[in-house]
Amino acid sequence: MDQGNGASRRGKRPKSGEPVVDRALSLLAAFGSEHRALGLNELSRRAGLPPSTASRLTARLLRWGALERDDQGRYVIGLRLFEVASLAPRSHGLREAALPYLEDLHEITRQHVLLAVRDGDEALLVERLSAHGAVEIAYRVGGRLPLHETGVGLVLLAAADPGFRAEWIDRLEPSSAALRLRRRLAEVHNAGLAVFERQRPAPVCSIAVPIRGRGEQVVAAVSIVVPAGARTARAYEQVVRATAMAISRGLGARGTRSHT
């Protein structure tokens, strides 16, 4: 009997480039800020896996704690993943050093305070402090932010490796948008500060400053997000710079400059 044909009738063997761990990760990647709870069929579809495979792998992820079920029986991300993610050195050490100063900044301004790092093509929010009644924003801890459309993102992109930065900018269309971004990043680099305004979900202004680690490399960005027009960016600039400088010293930066 041709076992190969029999195997193909029962189901395809996983491709060499798609081991079980990759398929399990595709299930976890199916979740997002707008897809926090998924039924098995939707989870299977979003992960691009056959329902039988999705069912088998979700059972394993449930046993390990990477997934849980809500009161409607849908799958949600489990606390075990939060426990593991909290050990990531780029976020844990940074957050530990930064949190006392972020709390001071939050207490002084009574506005949103954000801490972010660059992760590939996006900014990753590792901490957010918010006051009751502060302007509405859509950012959440663990969420990803566009590099060219947020204050922290502009700071991180301005400080990125020139090759990465050039490649990233070249993707923008039309070319006039790329030219404007190059000019803006040069301004951010020279000023050591990014000011970004947006209108949705509410009119806000973000004032962001780089945070440096050992060797003076930019490792993160801190910002406050305030209602647009409530006060000028200049009114908040010095307190955000002071916060970034204090965090940088806590991370081992020797210099006192705050420019990228």
Along the 260 residues of the chain, how does pLDDT read in single tens digits? 334 444 333 344 444 446 889 999 999 989 887 788 999 999 999 999 999 999 999 999 999 999 999 989 999 988 888 778 767 666 557 888 899 999 999 999 888 999 999 999 999 999 999 887 777 787 888 888 999 999 999 999 999 999 999 999 988 888 888 999 999 999 999 999 999 988 877 788 999 999 998 888 999 999 999 888 756 677 889 999 999 999 999 888 876 554 44
Instruction: For Cα atoms 63, 65, 70, give the angle at the middle one, nearest 5 degrees.
Output: 95
- Candidates 56, 84, 123, 108; CA nearest to 226 is 108
Q: Are strands 194-198 and 67-69 parallel, antiparallel or unpaired?
A: unpaired
- Candidates 177, 160, 153; CA nearest to 225 is 153
Residue with tokens 């009644």: 133
Measure the CA–CA gap between 124 and 141, rounded to whole angstroms.
Answer: 8
Report field, pTM of the whole predicted structure over 0.85: no
* 17 secondary structure, DSSP code: T
Give Cα 237 to chain centroid, integer Å. 23
pLDDT of 47 reads 92
Contact 20, 14 (CB under 8 A): yes
Q: Count the Cβ atoms, other than its own, within 10 Å of residue 107.
A: 11
* 38 secondary structure, DSSP code: B
pLDDT of 96 reads 85
Is the preceding omega at residue 227 within 30 degrees of 0, hence cis? no
Q: Are strands 218-227 and 122-129 parallel, antiparallel or unpaired?
A: unpaired
Measure the CA–CA gap between 20 and 16, rounded to whole angstroms.
Answer: 10
Residues making up the chain, counted from first to last = 260
Strand partners, 221: 116, 210
**Assigned token pair, 257:** 């400059």
Measure the CA–CA gap between 86 and 126, rounded to whole angstroms.
Answer: 10
